Amino acid sequence: MSALLLTHQHLPGVTMICIEGDVDATNHLRLQAYIEQVRQQPGDQIVFDLSETMFIDSRGLRVLLDAHTAGVRHGGAVHLAAPAPVPARMLEVVGMARHLPVHAGVDQALRAALSAAAERPS
């Protein structure tokens, strides 16, 4: 298991959160608290950079889905970016792409999130 490292960056209407390491039963609540702490507005778009996420279990996926659900209630959304092979497979198996967008790269996810943030009424 690799340690969980969380970092973020704020852009207009978008919060990008980079998740490095594993997300599982031992630390999913830490991820949830981090999201709540760094999200600027309830309706912000959130981009999760999953390129350095080596593993994510069902509890971690639930945290991402809950962040999306909370955002949608206020006009926001979650975008998943560049998932590494194991998390990508997990997203595929559980059908997460039916509920939130999964982008091949961080740049694509940021463009989509920034565009959605710009279209959101003030």
The whole-angstrom distance between residue 20's C-alpha and the CA centroid of its chain comes to 12
Query: How many Å apart are CA 69 and CA 43, to the nearest integer?
Result: 10
Mean pLDDT score of the chain = 93
Structural domain that includes position 78: 5-119
**CATH number of 12's domain:** 3.30.750.24
The confidence band for 34, taking pLDDT boundaries of 50, 70 and 90, is very high
pLDDT of residue 114: 94
The whole-angstrom distance between residue 103's C-alpha and the CA centroid of its chain comes to 11
Check pLDDT > 70 for residue 21.
yes
According to DSSP, residue 74 is labeled T
Tokens describing residue 69 = 């659900």
Tokens describing residue 53 = 């996420």
Task: Say if residues 82 and 16 touch (Cβ distance below 8 Å).
Answer: no
- For the entire predicted model, the pTM comes to 0.94
Number of domains into which the chain is organized: 1
